[in-house]
């Protein structure tokens, strides 16, 4: 079987979590959940970041 990667993107409250649970059950796979705040927590770069 081929490896499949499914990425769900969208705004808050549109049903991404429910869909991911349904897909994980269908494909018998794990869910990896993350958001941008988890990825960039210690990266103090960006257009609106105040100077230290």
Which residues contact residue 13 at a Cβ distance below 8 angstroms, ignoring those fewer than 6 apart? none
Domain assignment present for 42? no
Confidence check: pLDDT of 38 > 70: no
pLDDT confidence tier of residue 2, bands split at 50, 70 and 90: confident
Confidence check: pLDDT of 40 > 80: no
Domain assignment present for 11? yes
Domain assignment present for 13? yes
Percent of the chain with pLDDT over 90: 38
Tally the residues of the chain. 52
Confidence check: pLDDT of 12 > 80: yes
Domains in the chain: how many in total?
A: 1
Domain assignment present for 2? yes
| Residue 4, phi-psi category: left (phi > 0), alpha (psi -120 to 50), beta (remainder) | beta
Residue 8 belongs to what domain range?
Answer: 1-34
Domain assignment present for 14? yes
């Amino acid at each position: 079987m081929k490896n499949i990667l499914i990425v769900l993107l969208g705004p808050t409250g549109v049903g991404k979590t429910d869909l991911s649970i349904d897909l994980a059950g269908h494909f018998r796979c794990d869910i990896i959940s993350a958001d941008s705040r988890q990825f960039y927590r210690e990266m103090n770069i960006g257009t609106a970041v105040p100077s230290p």
